Structure 1
Amino acid sequence: MGADRGGNGVRGRRPVRVMVYAGCGALLLAGCASMPDNGDLRGVESTPRQDSQVRVYAMPPHPGASAAEIVQGFLEALTSDDAKYETAGKYLTDGARKAWDPYHSTTVLADAPNPVPSEAKDGSRDVAFRLSGSKVAKVDVRHAYEPDAGQYSGSVHLTRLKSNKQWRIDSLPQGVLMGTSDFQRNYVSVNKYFYASNGTSGSGRPLRTVADPVYVRAQVDPMTQIVRALLKGPTSWLDPVVRSSFPSGTELKNSDVSLAPDDRNRVTVPLNDKADRVGLPKCRQMAAQLLLTLQDLTPTGVDEVEFQKSDGTQLCVLNKSQAEGVASHGTGEHPGYQYFIDHEQRLVRMPRENSDKKPEPVPGALGEGGKKLRAAAVSRDEGTAAGVSADGRNLYVGSLVSGGSLGEPVVQSQGRTADDRLTTPSWDARGDLWVADRDPKNPRLLLLQKGAGEPIVVGASQLDGRIEAVRVAADGVRIALIVEKDGKSSLQIGRIQRSGPDDPRGAFVFDPRSVAPQLEEVTAMSWAGDSRLVVVGSEKGAVQQMRYVQVDGSTPLGTSPSALANVKEIAASEDEQLPLVAHSETDGIVRLSAGEQWQKVVQDGTAPVYPG
């Protein structure tokens, strides 16, 4: 549970957790692991992150185990790969086992829970243990992760059974409790995919999808877990802005179904009768949702999905290439260039992957130097750009074609200083333009439909502070914001909701949530995948750092970008294969490709962006 468990915690003989490599199967075979035939069983503390093939099995309570050993053994069993928590249930009385729901939630603590016994009279048949620790996060019944803070306090109560004089737990909190290291070993983050409901794609174009990250148990049939989670629908935070193509009530046909690819890398999914009457177009949308969801669960992804009706006959089949015509990640656009502002304060571009080619001014007025710029944003189809004037006061929009003109600014700020004026703008998947005006007398989040017309003031009453940066996700339903209050800046994700037919121009940002709460000063951020951002900031009293964060506030697996000094701005693409681009006060415009170090592009340049 936690290598640093100590203090007043329980010590002594404890049940052991057995680690087995998956290739050796569930039995302890020669060469895989062995059990001592004499001596004490020593408990395994919180397990450092293991290879993905390591399986952990808990041992049941041994006869005559003390109350302390029962509590410790139960906590250890919660962190094992026991599919239905059957071993953990052996530490409970019959009544407690029936009442306990391990799937209710998972509470994650910084370290393993520390059980402390309450005072009990000698010979007593009842004893309680208090569980405590520092909260990190909670995973709810829909597998959604949410950061948490403060102190956790819970308790378990034990009684000595009359039948055999053995100690068992008869009262306990619902759900599962474990430390961070055990959570990282036990759980894996997977994106479920749903369709954006705040707009439709054009005729013949794939539907836009939205990633909904959830956590499932990594070694307990994760494919079946994530399919069941997909069928239940989106997490509650995302639900208002997405839709699922699966009919309400659709589930796997049987509770004991276990899904896995066959030798053709096809996954066959038997559904209940709620899906029996689904037509082919809708069934293809269902299959595209599932193929996107399963893409990261195997080394090569899943090539094909087949749905079966409740009677076992085929409902539809869809492969990966066919799915690309049904559903896309975000806009489905693949950027051709990276952009930044050069030393002449023009918008310039460079090929997204060719680091040898020198940057060149973009076609049109924003690249001709007629208006000096401090920041810019390029539409996702790379046909239009928006530029903020050098003093931050004016926002211009122009086409990226030779000879194009700008006209009058589409937005003007009345802020007294450049830092109190316009932020870098951002284009969404519908071709609308977003920008924040930081004027202290009139702070506003603004939206221009198709980058033109009268700016719409976006409702954002739930935001507490002034917006310092804006980036809209490719899916068009989530917005990342840097919000400043009382000298501290935080990274928040909000949900974009559009008005209905009676007010088609309205837009609102709801339920903003902090996704990097440990950072006190966030300097820059950018979307870096379907559900991931790259953020530059610092913790209290610490130096600047660069890291990836998930939209649910969790930390994705893998390494952080290599260190870079004095970063002012960062740009990433939703295509995770493309390089990061940054503006460093020390090194200018630099680029980081996978597996390489930061490479300088130009010394004099600022405000790097990808389309979006």
Structure 2
Amino acid sequence: MGADREGGARRMPGRAVAYAACGVVVLAGCASMPDDGDLRGVESTPRQDTQVRVFAMPPREDAPPSEIVQGFLESLTSDDPSYATARQYLTGEARQTWRPEAATTVLADGPGTEAGPAGGRVDGDDLTFTLTGTTVAGVDAQQAYAPASGRYSQSVHLTKNRKTGQWRIDGLPQGVVMGKSDFERNYMSVNKYYFASNASNSADEANGQSAAVADPVYVRERVDPMTEMVRSLLNGPTGWLRPVVRSSFPTGTALANGVTSLTPDDQNMLTVPLNAKAARVGQTQCDEMAAQLLFTLQNLTPAVDEVELRAGGTRLCSLGEDRATTVASRGSAKHAEYLYFVDGKHRLVRIPAGSSETKADPVPGALGEGAKELRAAAVSRDEHMAAGVSYDGKTLYVGALVSGSSLGEPVLRSQGQTEADRLTTPSWDARGDLWVADRDPADPRLLLLEQGAGQPLEVRTPGLDGRIRDVRVAADGVRVALVVEKNGKGSLLIGRIERDEKDGERPVVSVLELRPATTELEEVTTMAWAGDSRLVVVGREQGGVQQMRYVQVDGSVPEGPAPAALTGVKEIAAAEDERLPLVAYSEDGIVRLPTGAQWQKVVKDGSAPIYPG
């Protein structure tokens, strides 16, 4: 299940169902295991029907070591809430020290097993097996996903109880390990929400709204994900995002003692009892706490339309979906007025967003009048300002989208010798600041113009290895997506935006901890934000043809189909509001992809499509 949802509407998770309707499958692989000899690899469980829950078999009497290891590994892929069956394969001491929640290691296939030096023969009271495989990803103790690579090799030690004669595991790695298909069956990605801590000057903050930031995590899909997501939210943001977000829940807030499960009532209201740490919050803070919960739980099943917070038996506040949008702004909840692109006369033009219109009108102001021929443009998120890159890529202009407005002098010039070595398409952030990269090989820089004007700030990019080809700032204002070129190939990286602001001084802006979002694509052509934590990317796998796919900011692939195929894509436009169609510039001109339809031509003569941002 992807963390972002189409249309913002609540949909049943792809594999989630009401538990009362679930069928049951027992992992019965143990019945066919060898009594001795080498272990075979643990095959990943085939994807099951959406109404199936999987439970494991406990160890049978007098099972040999090979069967104990195999049964334990298979039990890790079951829907057992507390891994109670898996613990039956362990000694008493190992049960106490094993922490399955410490990490989840995802292998390309199920873990293979190799017997120790004894060749699988049981000659004494102990035996070691080695788990092997190719690592593709990991989920840490904060439930954060990260792509990974390399060989996996961990030891599992077994001992024979002298009194009972039963083999059990007494030494094993912390966490759980499973194949990719089992991970996809067991886990789902869900966004939890916090507030941007570096957006104090944004228009939303000025209107009394905080900017909501999605923090995707992975939870077990059929093990009470609603309660697990509330706990995860209360535990705070993941480490990568923590420096740039805040939570309105007081430090130490947790579910009240004795609360083991949360379920909304028949009116879709969820009551969340909290401990005493939350007892003294004011109305504004409580509303923000409730908004965080609503945004986090909105795509889970059963539906949650309202949240009531309680502490010490007292009602703190309640918040419904209708008021949540007045408490905090969320990129996916904002509807763009227009789709913009550069027409055949190199003017900035627009058509109503989401419409079936094919006739575009020039935007009000100088950028729509054709006084300066444009190659690319960006429109501010409030759709009041626009920036345009000249046709030769040398200069950047900024102007108001108001009839009769003028451009004035360029706000930025590049000294690059060729068009490919000059300015990229710009991008506006939630604060009204303008981002652009200068690709001049003699002085490659990522630049920021505060409110689209003044002396550009050079953004610090420690650890950046390559030259920026494309820049897109997320609606939350704390993350930026970069296509970075190295050795002639582009890769997609996600960075965290940090600002060091002091009174009377210009801010120091940095993009930190860049991490890859498309490890499987050898070459990324273009990309755009397509949800609170999702992007649409056009690129090629090694030796493959061009393809279009969705990716999460953490590098995982959301559940659901990829966009319909389209050849010759040069640029892609998407809105965080997923009700709006994808738009592309391809060999057929400007085309769009309405929900449930195929690509449709908008205009033949046009390029550089964009939504606000």
TM range (shorter): over 0.9
Q: Alpha carbons of 1:20 and 1:264: their partners in 2 closer, same or farther (altered >3 Å)?
A: closer
Aligned counterparts of 2:178 and 2:562: Cα–Cα separation in 1: 25
Q: Alpha carbons of 1:168 and 1:35: their partners in 2 closer, same or farther (altered >3 Å)?
A: closer
Aligned counterparts of 2:213 and 2:431: Cα–Cα separation in 1: 14
Matching residue of 2:226: 223
Deviation at 1:122, TM superposition (A): 4.5
Q: Alpha carbons of 1:122 and 1:72: their partners in 2 closer, same or farther (altered >3 Å)?
A: closer
SS in 2 for 1:72: helix
Matching residue of 2:75: 77
1:426-466 residue CA offsets vs partner (Å, 9 max, x unmatched): 00000000000000001010100110111111111221110
Residues 320-339 of structure 1: pairs in structure 2 closer than 5 A: 320-330=321-331, 333-339=334-340
Aligned counterparts of 2:258 and 2:67: Cα–Cα separation in 1: 34
Deviation at 1:333, TM superposition (A): 3.7
Aligned counterparts of 2:286 and 2:509: Cα–Cα separation in 1: 32
Select the residue among 496, 511, 514 that pairs with 2:513.
511
Aligned counterparts of 1:498 and 1:20: Cα–Cα separation in 2: 40
Q: Alpha carbons of 1:522 and 1:276: their partners in 2 closer, same or farther (altered >3 Å)?
A: same
Deviation at 1:319, TM superposition (A): 1.2
Matching residue of 1:12: none
Alignment check: 8 A CA contact 1:490 1:521 kept: yes
Matching residue of 2:442: 441
The one-letter code sitting in structure 1 at the alignment partner of 2:574 is A
Alignment check: 8 A CA contact 1:473 1:527 kept: yes
Residues 4-403 of structure 1: pairs in structure 2 closer than 5 A: 41-42=31-32, 45-120=43-118, 122-200=122-200, 201-254=204-257, 256-298=259-301, 301-309=303-311, 311-330=312-331, 333-403=334-404
1:519-572 residue CA offsets vs partner (Å, 9 max, x unmatched): 111000000000000000011111111000000000001000011001100000
SS in 1 for 2:262: coil
The one-letter code sitting in structure 1 at the alignment partner of 2:95 is R
The one-letter code sitting in structure 1 at the alignment partner of 2:257 is N
Q: Alpha carbons of 1:35 and 1:182: their partners in 2 closer, same or farther (altered >3 Å)?
A: closer
Aligned counterparts of 1:73 and 1:409: Cα–Cα separation in 2: 68
Alignment check: 8 A CA contact 1:526 1:534 kept: yes
Q: Alpha carbons of 1:410 and 1:331: their partners in 2 closer, same or farther (altered >3 Å)?
A: farther
For structure 1, the 5+ residue unaligned runs are 1-18
Aligned counterparts of 1:512 and 1:25: Cα–Cα separation in 2: 43
SS in 1 for 2:153: strand
Q: Alpha carbons of 1:34 and 1:127: their partners in 2 closer, same or farther (altered >3 Å)?
A: closer
Q: Alpha carbons of 1:411 and 1:40: their partners in 2 closer, same or farther (altered >3 Å)?
A: closer
Deviation at 1:351, TM superposition (A): 1.1
SS in 2 for 1:325: helix
Aligned counterparts of 2:77 and 2:26: Cα–Cα separation in 1: 20
Q: Among the aligned pairs, what percent are the same residue? A: 62
Aligned counterparts of 2:143 and 2:506: Cα–Cα separation in 1: 34
Alignment check: 8 A CA contact 2:27 2:54 kept: no
1:125-156 residue CA offsets vs partner (Å, 9 max, x unmatched): 11111111111111011100011011111110
The one-letter code sitting in structure 2 at the alignment partner of 1:348 is V
SS in 2 for 1:103: helix
Alignment check: 8 A CA contact 1:583 1:589 kept: yes
Matching residue of 1:524: 526
Matching residue of 1:608: 609
Aligned counterparts of 2:301 and 2:43: Cα–Cα separation in 1: 30
Aligned counterparts of 1:390 and 1:397: Cα–Cα separation in 2: 15
Alignment check: 8 A CA contact 1:20 1:33 kept: no
Aligned counterparts of 2:265 and 2:332: Cα–Cα separation in 1: 32
Deviation at 1:298, TM superposition (A): 2.1
RMSD: 2.0
Number of corresponding residues: 585
Q: Alpha carbons of 1:569 and 1:267: their partners in 2 closer, same or farther (altered >3 Å)?
A: same
Matching residue of 1:418: 419
Aligned counterparts of 1:607 and 1:34: Cα–Cα separation in 2: 53
The one-letter code sitting in structure 2 at the alignment partner of 1:278 is V
Q: Alpha carbons of 1:149 and 1:523: their partners in 2 closer, same or farther (altered >3 Å)?
A: same
Q: TM-score, normalised by structure 2?
A: 0.92
The one-letter code sitting in structure 2 at the alignment partner of 1:92 is L
Aligned counterparts of 2:167 and 2:463: Cα–Cα separation in 1: 50
Alignment check: 8 A CA contact 1:223 1:259 kept: yes
Alignment check: 8 A CA contact 2:498 2:512 kept: yes
Deviation at 1:317, TM superposition (A): 1.2
1:168-197 residue CA offsets vs partner (Å, 9 max, x unmatched): 001000000001100001001000000000
Alignment check: 8 A CA contact 2:159 2:169 kept: yes
Q: Which moved more, 1:314-323 or 1:497-506?
A: 497-506
Aligned counterparts of 1:591 and 1:236: Cα–Cα separation in 2: 37
Alignment check: 8 A CA contact 2:341 2:608 kept: yes
The one-letter code sitting in structure 1 at the alignment partner of 2:262 is L
Q: Which moved more, 1:48-57 or 1:374-383?
A: 48-57
Residues 592-603 of structure 1: pairs in structure 2 closer than 5 A: 592-603=593-604
Deviation at 1:357, TM superposition (A): 4.1
Aligned counterparts of 1:413 and 1:607: Cα–Cα separation in 2: 20
Aligned counterparts of 2:489 and 2:521: Cα–Cα separation in 1: 9
Alignment check: 8 A CA contact 2:331 2:531 kept: no
Aligned counterparts of 1:35 and 1:277: Cα–Cα separation in 2: 48
Aligned counterparts of 1:290 and 1:562: Cα–Cα separation in 2: 34
SS in 2 for 1:138: strand
Q: Which moved more, 1:467-476 or 1:348-357?
A: 348-357
1:351-374 residue CA offsets vs partner (Å, 9 max, x unmatched): 112223411111111111111110
Deviation at 1:34, TM superposition (A): 9.5
Aligned counterparts of 2:27 and 2:604: Cα–Cα separation in 1: 62
Deviation at 1:402, TM superposition (A): 1.4
The one-letter code sitting in structure 1 at the alignment partner of 2:461 is A
Q: Which moved more, 1:322-331 or 1:466-475?
A: 322-331
SS in 1 for 2:100: coil
Matching residue of 1:499: 500
The one-letter code sitting in structure 2 at the alignment partner of 1:530 is D
The one-letter code sitting in structure 2 at the alignment partner of 1:308 is R
Q: Alpha carbons of 1:241 and 1:331: their partners in 2 closer, same or farther (altered >3 Å)?
A: farther
SS in 1 for 2:163: coil
SS in 1 for 2:399: strand
Q: Alpha carbons of 1:447 and 1:529: their partners in 2 closer, same or farther (altered >3 Å)?
A: same
SS in 1 for 2:102: coil
The one-letter code sitting in structure 2 at the alignment partner of 1:199 is A
Q: Which moved more, 1:549-558 or 1:123-132?
A: 123-132
1:582-604 residue CA offsets vs partner (Å, 9 max, x unmatched): 011x2111000111000011111
SS in 1 for 2:183: helix
Alignment check: 8 A CA contact 1:118 1:130 kept: yes
Alignment check: 8 A CA contact 2:30 2:71 kept: no
Select the residue among 543, 565, 568 that pairs with 2:567.
565
Deviation at 1:256, TM superposition (A): 4.7
The one-letter code sitting in structure 1 at the alignment partner of 2:58 is P
